[in-house]
Structure 1
C-alpha cells in the first residue's frame, strides 16, 4: 500500500480518463467524483469502479467530448441533456445554478438525461450539504433488479441519496439502493469467487442463488419485497420519467457495446432558511438525542474518512496506482 494525496490521485485518474478519450473538463469531473468516493471509503464506486468508466470511454459508451446542453425553463428548474457524456460533467456545469436557484426560490431541481451512470449518488447531495442546503437525489440505470411477481430484471438498483447539514460542519448522509445490495458488490463477489447471502439474487432461470456469477446472469432482488419495489418505481419515475431519460428496461448495457445507457439523474436542493432559522442546530440536537438512544446516524464515518483523507492522504494498492499510470500513458 502506498500513501498518496487526494490531489495526486485526482491527477492520475484525470490523466487515465484523458488517455481513454475524455476532454480535460470531463476527465476532471470524473476524477474528482472517483477520489471523493474513495476518500469516503466507498471503494466499490471509487477506484474499483474507475476502469468501467475508462473502458466505456474507450469503447464509445461514454462520449468523452460531449457538451452538455443546459436549459432553464423556470427559475427553479435546471434541465440538462448530457448528450451521451458522463453524469458528472453535466452536474458540475449546473451545480452553481442549482445552488443559486435554491437560495433564490427556496428550492432548486436539477434533471438530467442521456448520461452514463453516476457512480456514488451520495456525492451530489453531500456537495449540497456543504453549501448549507438539503439535498435529495435519485438515479436509474440499465435493468439489473427484479421484483416480486417478475423474473426478469425490470429496474436498476435505483438508489436514493439524502444529505442535510448540521451545526459544526457535520452532515447527515444517506445513500442506499432499492435492491438488497449494490450491483458492484455482487460483481466484486463474482471476481473473488465469494458466495452471496441468501435473498440477494436469483439466477437466469428465476431460482434463488448464492452464486455471484449466476446472479450476474440473473437479477438482484429488492429489499423488503414489494416495499423496495415501490421505492424503485418511485425512483424510476423521478430519474427517468421526469428527466426524459431511458427507462431502465430500455437502457443499453454499461459494460458492452458502444451506446450510452442514456440514464437519468434528478437532484433537488432545498434552502432550510426559507422555512425559518435554526435548522442546522435543531438537527444536530436531535441527532445527539437519537444517538443517545442507540441510533446509528449515517454519514458520520464517511465525513471522518473524508477529513482524514484530506489531511493524511489515501492508502492505495501499489498495483492499482501502477495500472492508473499505465492507462494515463497509453490509454490501456
Structure 2
C-alpha cells in the first residue's frame, strides 16, 4: 500500500472543508483555512499543508482556536492596520483586512498590517504570495510558543520564528517567495520524523539536557537549534520584535503551546507591503531579468526554480496517515 493518497485539488478542498465544518468551525474560518492549506500544499512546504491542518482541527476541537471569531480591524495610522483575531485563525483576520491593506499600499506606497491574538499562521509564504499576486512586494514575520534555544545548552527562548519575503515577477512568472524559519528546520519536520520513526540530521535539535540528538522523539522533549548559530538566533530576535513586539502579542516565552492544552497561543503576525515603484519604472521586469540571470548561473530561486508537479498536475499527494486522521474527523 502506498504511503500517500493522491487527490484532485477539488477532492482535497472538499475533504478539508468537510473536516473543518465537522469540528464546528464557522464557514468563514473554514474557507480561509482551506484556501491557505491548499496554497501550502501546492506552493509551500508539504508539511505545512494537510499535515498542519491536523493541528488546526485538533485546535478547533480542544478549544485552542475560536471556531467562530469576530476579528476586529482598526487603522491606527493611515497606512498602519491593526487586527485582533479574537483567538481565531490568523488567515481570517488577514483576509478581512486584505482589501484595506491593498488600498493603503497603493495610496501610500508602503503599508503595514499587524495582528495579535490568533492561532499560528501556517505557511507564512501564503501571506506574501497573496500580495505578490497583486503586484506588491511583501515581508512577513510571526512567532509562536518557545521551542528553540539561542545556543546549545541554553534555555528555550524563541519559537521557530519564520520570516517570508515575496517579490512579484509579472503575470507570466510565479513570484519569488523566500519562506524560512530562524531555526535549523521547521518544528513540523521534527514532528513528522517522530511519527515516521526516522532520524533527523545533526544540528537540528538538542535533547532535554541540551545535548545534540538525531532522535526525533527525543528532540520533541528538548529544543530546536537556530540555523547558523548566533546569526540565526539574531534573526529569531528580529522576527520576535517584528511580530510580537510590533503587534503587542505575547513573546514566545509567554505564548501557550499551540499543540496542547486549551489556551490560544494568541501570537503575533506582521506583514509589510511595498509597491515596487511606479509602473513605468519597470522594477518588476528588472527583477525578472535578474532572476533569469541568476538561474542561468545555476542559482536556485525560491518559488521560481523547480516547479513542483502539484502546481501543474492538478493533483495533491497527502501522507496516508494524515489523510486517515482527517477522514476520521469527518465521520465522527
Into which bin does the TM-score normalised by the smaller protein fall?
over 0.9
TM-score (norm 1): 0.93
Q: Which moved more, 1:106-115 or 1:3-12?
A: 3-12
TM-score (norm 2): 0.93
Match of 1:196 in 2: 200
Rate the CA distance shift 1:325–1:210 in 2: closer, same or farther, 3 A. Answer: closer
Question: In the TM superposition, what whole-angstrom CA distance separates every residue of 1:193-227 from its partner, at most 9, and x where no partner exists?
Answer: 11111111111111111111111111100011110
User: How far apart are the structure 2 equivalents of 1:63 and 1:157?
Assistant: 23
Structure 1: tracts of 5 or more residues without a match: none
Matched, 1:177 2:181: yes
Would the aligned equivalents of 2:152 and 2:206 in 1 still touch at CA under 8 Å? no
Match of 1:8 in 2: 11
> What do you get for the CA RMSD once the two structures are aligned?
1.9
User: How far apart are the structure 1 equivalents of 2:309 and 2:134?
Assistant: 19
User: How far apart are the structure 2 equivalents of 1:171 and 1:146?
Assistant: 33
Would the aligned equivalents of 1:40 and 1:305 in 2 still touch at CA under 8 Å? no
Matched, 1:86 2:89: yes
Would the aligned equivalents of 1:106 and 1:274 in 2 still touch at CA under 8 Å? no
Q: 1:314 pairs with 307, 313, 316, which one?
A: 316
Shift of 1:156: 0.3
1:272 alignment partner, SS class? coil
Shift of 1:44: 0.4
Would the aligned equivalents of 1:170 and 1:303 in 2 still touch at CA under 8 Å? no
1:11 alignment partner, SS class? helix
Shift of 1:49: 1.2
2:50 alignment partner, SS class? coil
Would the aligned equivalents of 2:115 and 2:269 in 1 still touch at CA under 8 Å? yes
Q: Which moved more, 1:320-329 or 1:154-163?
A: 320-329
Match of 2:249 in 1: 245
Would the aligned equivalents of 1:171 and 1:303 in 2 still touch at CA under 8 Å? no
Shift of 1:158: 0.3
Match of 1:118 in 2: 121
Q: Which structure carries more helix by proportion?
A: 1
Shift of 1:228: 0.4
Aligned residues: 328
Match of 1:49 in 2: 52
Match of 1:59 in 2: 62
Shift of 1:31: 0.9
